[in-house]
Chain A
Amino acid sequence: MWDPLVRSVHWSLAALIVVELFNEAGANPWHRYFGYVAAALVVARLAWGFGSRGHARLSSMAASARRAPSYFRRPATPAAGHTPPGALMAFALWALVLLVALTGWMLGLDAFWGDEGLQRIHEVLAYALAAFAVVHVIAALVASYLQRVNLIKSMITGNKPA
């Protein structure tokens, strides 16, 4: 089961990442505002991960992530919550969203105003986030095929049979 907060944060982040990649960064306040919204969503999700029970819980995700090495030897094993690589990917995507947002915010400080080095770091992190998101989408499709479950649908409806 994916609870409503997990699902709404997931799809909102997906939409924001696509929007921000299209959204011009230069002299465009909306690029900044959407970035802050994305960071706030990740923070809310992390808070939920501490407070909630079930598959959203960070400690159960971390326990799952630690099983990733052995999981790759039997990749067709379905899971009711995050599969081990799925949990790892979620952590990686959240970390990247926070890093992109942090460097974006720093670019507005006096110390980094127009700083091309930090702009480049922000760009590289953003491209890394996009690349991870593409891998995430492909992995969801491949895992859906191998495990004979529609993972995309389960992230919409919330029902994820083990």
Chain B
Amino acid sequence: MKKTAVAMILCFAAGAAFAGANCPKYPKAEWMPQDQARTKIQAMGYKIDKFKVDGNCYEIYGQNKEGKKAEVYFDAKTLDVVKAEIRK
């Protein structure tokens, strides 16, 4: 019985793993247009390798000002940084 519960948790958990970050949800009309978002993110000092929509976020893979690999999630309306990892 206990093992069945573990198996069920495994099944549910499989869906959770690849969600990226918890960005606030906005109606599509309120999202910053993608071209504008790219330009602003570059103006913040990031070099963008990949730009994409991940859930409620804009997400980039690229480099920060110091040239370090960066994975950054942005609020899709305000471009606040919601979550970021800078690699050493």
Count contacts between A and B, CB distance < 8 Å.
83
Digit string of B10-26 for contact with A (CB within 8 Å is 1, else 0)?
A: 11011011111100000
Selected from A21, A134, A137, A138, the residue in CB contact (under 8 A) with B17 is: A21
Count of residues in A whose CB is under 8 Å from the partner chain: 28
Residue of A nearest to B19 (CB): A24
Structural contact, A123 and B18, CB atoms closer than 8 A = yes
Is B54 a contact partner of A137 (Cβ separation < 8 A)? Answer: no
- Chain B interface category by residue count: 20 to 34
Are A21 and B20 neighbours in the complex by a CB distance under 8 Å? no
A52 part of interface (Cβ distance < 8 Å): no
Residue A121, interface by CB 8 Å? no
Interface residues in A110-162 by Cβ distance below 8 A to B read 110, 113-114, 116, 123, 126-127, 130, 133-134, 137-138, 140-141, 152
| Chain B residues within CB distance 8 Å of chain A | 3-4, 6-7, 9-11, 13-14, 16-21, 49-50, 52, 54, 59-62, 69, 71-73, 83-85, 87
